[in-house]
Structure formats: structure tokens, C-alpha cells
Amino acid sequence: MEMSKYGRLKVVGFFVIMIAAVILFSSFFAGLWGGKEGESKEPVKINMTADMTVEEFGKVNNLSNELLKEVFSLTDKKDLKKTIDQTGISTEQVLAKVKKEKALHEEFKSKNWFLIPLKFALWIVFLVMVFVLIRKRAITARVRKILYFAAFVLFGVILGSDPSPMGTVKDAIVLLGTSGVIFPPRMIALAVFLLTVFLANRFICSWGCQLGTFQDAIFRINRREKDRRGIFPQIKLPFAVTNTIRIITFAALAFIAFVWGLDMIGAVDPFKMFKPSVVAVYGWVFIGALLIASLFIYRPWCHLFCPFGLVAWIVEKMSVFKIQVNYDTCIACEKCVQACPSTVMEGILKRDRIVPDCFSCATCIEVCPTKSISFKAGKRRMPPPDKYEKK
């Protein structure tokens, strides 16, 4: 009884210290990097009157001559002296074109173009390393914790909240809904992230996402030494519930962005915890609740709210490398199902339901007594009839 009480106090103490350290060091590194990542962008404002010349319009709104030429279809430098009325282009058309171009310009300025390629390069190196470890069955409870801590410290605390897998989907929807434009670099980033999901089941979410690995690290500190079950009770939410909430969240995000021009997630975006100065009080309330929930529920943000999580769940159905079961050697002990932090292993093992999100944590590989579970390429087999029938 005393040991159980001590274990729970240890979990709480470590949780508090870890959150405090993340906030403190994230503030420090965010200050070093500078930039505007994670900050709310002001709506694009355009000053214009019909009797303005094109040149005056450009100066007032800080627009380049190249942009003016594109917006007003100018053919000669003298055309800069024409009034907006004389160009024959309606004010509505001008406003629409300029707002789109300025939105893209502001988006470009908000990015740290040294940090982004650096972060992607380190992601690739880190994910390849983890892939090799999983293939070699070298992920133990201890190694898993070390890797999760290394991931959120490197990709979150040190390198910051942006870019992130979630941002590539959420910010793309919001920018398209509010400004009617698509930011090409973000689409490239999304393609790279989805490629990692396709090549190795959910790998960017599993081992690279700063928030995903942080939630996983929190969940694992509330696990016993062998990482089989919780010190405090841990809950496995039904996939039908989690995915329904996630679909509703995704639909609401898109609806609010396109109808009201607002970012539904922005104010409570948990990725912003890696740049604490931009988080408001209500944001901290949500983030705090999410992190506490992570002790008891496996990756609550990923399962319940993440827009990228929903897209990645669809793509992972086509993943090349994934968790596979060798039914010839499996003894149906279901230790993998018991140790799995979510309901996914039961779906993979028995193939009697829609397979939930698999985060390739390799817990199932570690606990299998007959080494019947592996991370390999190919199509998952169906189990023999009645193999897992309750006796």
C-alpha cells in the first residue's frame, strides 16, 4: 500500500516538474529563435479610395510595383499614374487580389526559413534511427521513454511549435477559408509528413510530432516499470467515440473558417505551449486539462481533436511498413492487447473491427513471448477462424 502511494506521488511530482521545465526552457529557446511562429496574424487591411492613383495605392498599402502590375494588368510605367477608376478594374476585384497576395506575403514573413529545413532534416534522421530500432526489436520500455523525451525536447522545446504536422492541415484550412489562398510551402510540408505516414505507419505522429511525443511521454510516466499498465488507472476510450469527436472537430474547424473566417483551434492550440508567451489564460486552461488527461488517456489530442490525426488515420491504411502478426506462431495469449496503450492492437490481432490509430510504439512487439509480432512491409493477414474464441 505504501509503495503504491509512493508510486503515485512520484508520478505527480515528475509530471509537475516536467511541465514546468518544458514551459521554462521553451520560453528560453523561443526567445533565441525569435520570429512570429505561433502568433495570431492580424486580418489583412487594405486602404483604398477610387480617386487614388495606382502608385498612391501601392505606397499606402506597402505594395511592390510587381504586385501592382499583376493586380491592375499594367503594361507601362505611366499606368502607375492612373486612378483606380481609370484602370477599369472594380474595387472588389482589387481588394480580393491584393488581400490574397498580402496574406501569402504575411504567411511567408511569419516563417523562420533557417529553422524549418533544419527541423525537417533532423526529423528524417531521427525517424530513420527509430525505424531501424523497431525493425531490430530494440525498443524496450526504457528506450521508448528516452526516445519520446528526446523527441519532444528536440522538436518542441528546442526547435519550437512551428512547423508541426497538425499545422499543415489546420493552418491550410484556416488560410483558405479566411483569405482564399493556399500557401505552397505548407502543401510541400504536408506531402512530406503524409509520405512518412505512408512509408512507416504513422511515423511522424508516433515519433516526430512534438505534442504527440510529449503526450506519450506523460502517459508513460504513469506506467509501471515494464510499461504494461498504469500506476494510476488508465482508460482505453472506444474508437467509435474518439473518431466521431475527431470528425466533428474537423468539420467544425472547416465550417467556422469558411463561414466566419475564424480559426477555431488557434486560441487553444496546444502546440503553442512550446512558445508560452503567445498563450492566453483560456489557452492554458485547455492545455493544462489536456496534459492532465494524458496521464490517463493515450494521446487525447491525437485521438480526439487533431486534424492531421484524422487525415493520417486514413493514409495509414495504405502504409507500407506496419505492425503485423504471424498467426502460425501466435499462441493467442493476448498479452499484446493488454499492454497496448489503446484499443488498436485488438483490432490488428483479431481483424474483427475497423483498426483504430496505430502509433507504432512497439509495445506489442516487446511483450510478445513468441516474437509473433513485427514491424514489416506487406498486407496484414486474417487470423484463422476461432483462434481468439473465448474459452
Q: What is the CATH number of the domain that holds 364?
A: 3.30.70.20
Which is nearest to 134 in space by CA: 313, 382, 369, 377?
A: 377
Cβ contacts of residue 31 below 8 Å, gap of 6+?
Answer: none
Which of 85, 109, 133 is the endpoint of a domain?
Answer: 109
**Do 118 and 98 belong together in one domain?**
no
Mean pLDDT computed over every residue of the chain: 91
**Do 324 and 306 belong together in one domain?**
no
Cβ contacts of residue 334 below 8 Å, gap of 6+?
Answer: 346, 349, 388
**Do 274 and 158 belong together in one domain?**
yes
Q: Is residue 47 part of a domain?
A: no
Q: Is residue 382 part of a domain?
A: no
Residue with cell 487594405: 46
Give the C-alpha separation, 150 to 148, whole Å: 5
**Do 88 and 120 belong together in one domain?**
no
How many separate domains does the chain show? 3
At 47, the pLDDT band (50, 70, 90 cuts) reads confident
In the predicted model, what is the mean pLDDT of residues 203-229?
95
Which of 297, 314, 331 is the endpoint of a domain?
Answer: 314
The more confident residue out of 242 and 64 is 242
Phi, psi (rounded to 5 degrees) for 35: 80, -175
In the predicted model, what is the mean pLDDT of residues 355-370?
96
Structure confidence at residue 188 (pLDDT) = 96
Q: Is residue 140 part of a domain?
A: yes
DSSP-assigned letters across all residues of 109-134: HTS-TTHHHHHHHHHHHHHHHHHHHH
- Note the pLDDT tens digit of each residue in 50-81: 678 888 888 888 787 777 877 787 778 887 88
**Do 310 and 330 belong together in one domain?**
no
Which is nearest to 14 in space by CA: 151, 149, 205?
A: 149
Res 91 pLDDT > 80:
no
Give the C-alpha separation, 98 to 63, whole Å: 9
The more confident residue out of 250 and 112 is 250
Give, for 324, the enclosing helix (H) or strand (E): strand 321-325
| Whole-Å CA distances, 112 to 39, 127, 202 | 13, 22, 26
**Do 100 and 195 belong together in one domain?**
no
Sign of CA pseudo-dihedral 315, 318, 322, 324:
positive
- Note the pLDDT tens digit of each residue in 96-106: 778 888 788 88
Phi, psi (rounded to 5 degrees) for 52: -70, 145
Structure confidence at residue 88 (pLDDT) = 76
**Do 207 and 338 belong together in one domain?**
no
Res 250 pLDDT > 80:
yes
Give the residue numbers spanning the domain of 201. Answer: 2-40+113-314
Question: Would you tell me how many other CB atoms lie within 10 Å of the CB of residue 231?
Answer: 18
Structure confidence at residue 316 (pLDDT) = 95
Which is nearest to 144 in space by CA: 339, 367, 363, 338?
A: 363
- Note the pLDDT tens digit of each residue in 122-169: 999 999 999 999 999 999 999 999 999 999 999 999 999 999 999 999
**Do 191 and 95 belong together in one domain?**
no
The more confident residue out of 35 and 226 is 226
Structure confidence at residue 42 (pLDDT) = 55
Which is nearest to 18 in space by CA: 113, 157, 142?
A: 157
Which of 78, 109, 140 is the endpoint of a domain?
Answer: 109
Q: Could you tell me the end-to-end alpha-carbon distance of the chain, in angstroms, rounded to an integer?
A: 34
Give the C-alpha separation, 146 to 207, whole Å: 11
**Do 360 and 213 belong together in one domain?**
no
Res 1 pLDDT > 70:
no
Res 238 pLDDT > 60:
yes
**Do 227 and 284 belong together in one domain?**
yes
Question: Would you tell me how many other CB atoms lie within 10 Å of the CB of residue 375?
Answer: 21
Res 24 pLDDT > 80:
yes
Give the C-alpha separation, 162 to 159, whole Å: 8
